[in-house]
Structure 1
Amino acid sequence: MKYKVGILSVLVILFTAVVRAESDPQNFFQNYTRLGDNFDLMVAELYNDSAKIHAYRVYPHGLERNMEFTGAQWKQFIQKVMPLAKLQNDKSTFSDIKISEVEGGYKVKANRYSERKCYMDTGYYMILQRQVNGNLAIFEEYMETKPLSNC
């Protein structure tokens, strides 16, 4: 009987930790960065299918390009590029992280440093909102990228 109670206690603790990670914005962002650092494809599941992903890119010759993806498109993109990112050790490091409440959710603002291309993205942010099941998901993300390395 003690064995069954012990397993049940462990399962409750694990379930509570998962729910907390999916419902608290700080834990959510820590999970996001951990999955990214480990090149884990599960990071794609943190995006709502209807999310808006904005990528702003400035080329060395001055051309500027705004790209926008839905969450569903971004999930597919992650599935395709994650193996290449892993081979190139293409990671981002986040600093100066600030989380604030916004209408309908939370805004996570941070400085994102590209380890592979040696540049700082000071405009990075994501908007988290609750889904029907109560868990947080990414509903908007903005990043500034550079095509060439500064290393």
Structure 2
Amino acid sequence: MDRIKFSAAVTLIALSFARPALADDTADALTVFKEYVARSDRFDVAIADLYADDAVIKAKRLGPDGRMQTFTFTGRQWKALIPQAIPLAQQLDERNNFQDVSVKPSDTGIMITARRYSRIEDSTTPWAILVTKQQTGDWKISAEIIESRP
């Protein structure tokens, strides 16, 4: 077998193994997303367990004056806020509905984007999470971008 044919054969073999792994990664990331939605719907503080300690959360809020404010939290900070925020969300019956969900592999993990409808805000805003495989083998949210409007 000449070099070109050999190289092509090796590439095809490598790609055949890579595709199932990528499909598995996407399925694992979608499992995290589905669990995120389920825990959110149940007002379950265990949603915090889905975040990596070193996650970066960017919460953008459009103020009444039209200016966008951005707040950045680490995963640890966000996880500490969740037990305080969940009872308030439950009291207000805050519900989110995710539409146009899209999944795209990136260099660091699986990016999941959607349009998030907030019942209490009565608005739809962009939303995204990056789900990455941790050293432990678990998949966690390592980044999230949330937008809200009054």
Query: Which TM-score applies when normalising by structure 2?
Result: 0.79
Counterpart of 1:111 (choices 109, 115, 118) is 115
Instruction: Tell me the alpha carbon deviations over residues 122-141 of structure 1, each in whole angstroms, 9 at most, x when there is no partner.
Output: x2100010111111100000
CA distance in 1, matches of 2:73, 2:28: 25
TM-score normalised according to structure 1 size: 0.79
1:124 aligns with 2:117: no
1:83 is the counterpart of 2:87? yes
Which of 67, 71, 79 lines up with 2:75 in the alignment? 71
Whole-Å separation in 2 of the counterparts to 1:79 and 1:37:
15
- After superposing on structure 2, the runs of 4+ consecutive aligned residues of structure 1 that deviate more than 4 Å are none
Instruction: Compute the RMSD of aligned alpha carbons.
Output: 1.3
Partner of 1:58: 62
| CA apart distance, 1:38 | 0.3
Paired with 1:110 and 1:98, the residues of 2 have a C-alpha distance of 6
Residue 63 (structure 1) shift: 2.7
**Which residue, 13, 29, 35 being the options, matches 2:33?**
29
Number of aligned residue pairs: 125
Unaligned runs of 5+ in 2: 1-23
AA in 1 matched with 2:92: Q
Residue 143 of structure 1, CA deviation: 1.0
**What secondary structure sits across from 2:88 in the alignment?**
helix
Asked if 1:98 corresponds to 2:138, the answer is no
Q: Tell me how far 1:95 sits from its aligned partner.
A: 0.8
